[in-house]
Structure 1
Amino acid sequence: MDYINAIILGIVEGITEFLPISSTGHLIIAEQWLGQRSDLFNIVIQAGAILAVTIIYWRRIMTLLLGWRDADNRAYLGKLILAFLITAILGLIVKKLGFELPSTATPIAWALIIGGIWMMVAEWLAARRPPHKEITWLVAILVGIAQVVAGVFPGTSRSASTIFVAMLAGTGNRAAATEFAFLVGIPTMYAASAYELVKTFRDGGAANEDWTALGIAFVVSTIVAFVAVKWLLSYIQSNKFTAFAIYRIILGAILLGMASMGMIA
């Protein structure tokens, strides 16, 4: 059963990490039925999803790193670094303040609903702006802040908050906003995973882990995330994010109903 649960959680992480529907929220809910996983387990499946996106964007990443002599590449890379630094600094402050993720469904349900409504409004407002593809310095600053906000409020979704902040702050093009959000998410999530991994090993939390289950979950998460992100990048070329917003609202309402009936905590 542990291996089956590892596969299920790997699938959940792979699908939800980069789709604008909140991976943390889905995992917290899934763990109510499958049992709570260790911090190391959650780190490993997240690393699988990050690896998948790194593979998808490796050409773009190499172009930015090797083509730094080009002014446009330098500016874009600088904005990625700025967004990452803002997230890192604010994230460390949040950690120092002792923030902990909620373990109950109700706050996640409300975050899903409010986030879904916000996505619809943001999509409507962005549609009335020129479809600029440029990533401005303001967009970089706000995306960095949005990543921390999403981490503080599970159910918000890191990808949703960063994509729509970018669209509202001046990048009206869905594909351009999504690419920047995903690219800045790569170093952010690698850094967060490395931080938690070092902390877990230092505290002896890895001593009793089932490494086979971890390996299975990592592979499943990587494969599923690769397929999910490839599909999303194709989908947004001709579709809005409205379907994801509706899904969030419906799921949030279902979770609120289940919580009120005592079916989930």
Structure 2
Amino acid sequence: MNTLQAILLAIIEGITEFLPVSSTGHMIIASSFFGIAQDDFTKLFTIVIQLGTILSVVVLYFKRFFQSFDFYFKLFVGFIPAVIFGLLFSDAIDQLLENPITVAVSLIIGGVLLLKVDDWFGNSEETKISYLTAFKIGLFQCLAMIPGVSRSGASIVGGMTQKLSRTTAAEFSFFLAIPTMLGATVKKSYDYYKAGFELTQEQVNLLIIGNIVGFIVALIAIKSFIGYLQKHGFKIFGYYRIIAGIAILLIHFFIQKLTII
């Protein structure tokens, strides 16, 4: 991985992490396009730079983190399902991460659902989150362990099924990203350390650059997303996912056909 690739991947991460379009899916496709998807450092990079994006949530919603301890307990309750499912299905998840077909199909299915979610749940105005609601949103978030599903999309829709307003569901999804992605970063870093993976100074520099770029881009993306969501809903993201999923399938099968020829 070179510096330009690191910057481009960080921009993609910053834009897509909090949008319902699947950051993991986009990172898989982008790194495959660069020809570095199978590299161990690339896999570590795509996880570690999430620290920059979650820092953007802390900065934007700084005051919310000092309102009450109840806020942290609800985040913990919402985080529990991800811990359980992550530990149980870690190997299976790693295999899925290398399959572009899984990403494409997930993008399309998720896109169809986003086209309908405003009609089904768009009139909800609830702003209070109970512990049970937090836990149910955490269960929905686990669907994002399938590449292409979208962590933010799954958790936002999960919140809306519990009659939360779009804005409340989206903001809780942002908050829930902090323990979820922090936990994933720590686990993945430990796995690489245990496997004897050592970072060079150049790789450390790329991680620093990636986190800084991801942080700045995510700040802009979150503010823009909330504003757009309040006015227009999810339909544009649904259409985007469907188009992107179909494009990935067409490109994949076209490349396969060329390989056979």
Both proteins in one fold, TM over 0.5: yes
Instruction: Please state how far the C-alpha of 1:218 moved relative to its aligned partner.
Output: 1.6
The range that moved more, 43-52 or 92-101, is: 92-101
The range that moved more, 9-18 or 35-44, is: 35-44
* Matching residue within 229, 249, 255 for 1:262: 255
Instruction: Please state how far the C-alpha of 1:96 moved relative to its aligned partner.
Output: 6.6
Instruction: Please state how far the C-alpha of 1:244 moved relative to its aligned partner.
Output: 0.8
SS of residue in 1 equivalent to 2:230 = coil
The equivalent of 2:83 in structure 1 is: 88
Q: Output aligned runs, 1:236-255, within 5 Å.
A: 236-255=229-248
Instruction: Please state how far the C-alpha of 1:55 moved relative to its aligned partner.
Output: 1.4
* TM-score of the pair, normalised by structure 2: 0.89
Do the aligned partners of 1:136 and 1:170 also contact (CA within 8 Å) in 2? no
Q: Where do 5+ consecutive residues of structure 2 fail to align? A: none
The whole-number CA distance in structure 1 between the counterparts of 2:90 and 2:7 is: 30
SS of residue in 1 equivalent to 2:233 = coil
Q: List per-residue Cα deviations over 1:31-83 (Å, max 9, x = no partner).
A: 1121225232122211111111221122111223xxx4xxxxx2x44322211
- CA change 1:130–1:97 in 2 (3 A) is closer
The whole-number CA distance in structure 2 between the counterparts of 1:107 and 1:130 is: 32
- CA change 1:199–1:102 in 2 (3 A) is closer
- CA change 1:98–1:11 in 2 (3 A) is closer
Q: Quick one: percent identity of the two aligned structures?
A: 35
Q: List per-residue Cα deviations over 1:83-131 (Å, max 9, x = no partner).
A: 112221222122276753332322111100100111122221003x542
Q: Aligned pair 1:213/2:217, yes or no? A: no
The equivalent of 1:235 in structure 2 is: 228
The equivalent of 1:204 in structure 2 is: 196
- CA change 1:42–1:106 in 2 (3 A) is same
Q: CA RMSD in A?
A: 2.1
The range that moved more, 19-28 or 187-196, is: 187-196
* TM-score of the pair, normalised by structure 1: 0.88
* Matching residue within 104, 119, 128 for 1:134: 128
Q: Where do 5+ consecutive residues of structure 1 fail to align? A: 69-73
* Matching residue within 170, 182, 200 for 2:174: 182
Do the aligned partners of 2:96 and 2:102 also contact (CA within 8 Å) in 1? no
Paired residue type of 1:118: L
The equivalent of 1:29 in structure 2 is: 29
SS of residue in 1 equivalent to 2:9 = helix
Instruction: Please state how far the C-alpha of 1:183 moved relative to its aligned partner.
Output: 0.9
More helix as a share of residues = 2
Count of matched residue positions in the alignment of Structure 1 and Structure 2: 253
Paired residue type of 1:111: S
The whole-number CA distance in structure 1 between the counterparts of 2:77 and 2:205 is: 38
- CA change 1:99–1:41 in 2 (3 A) is closer
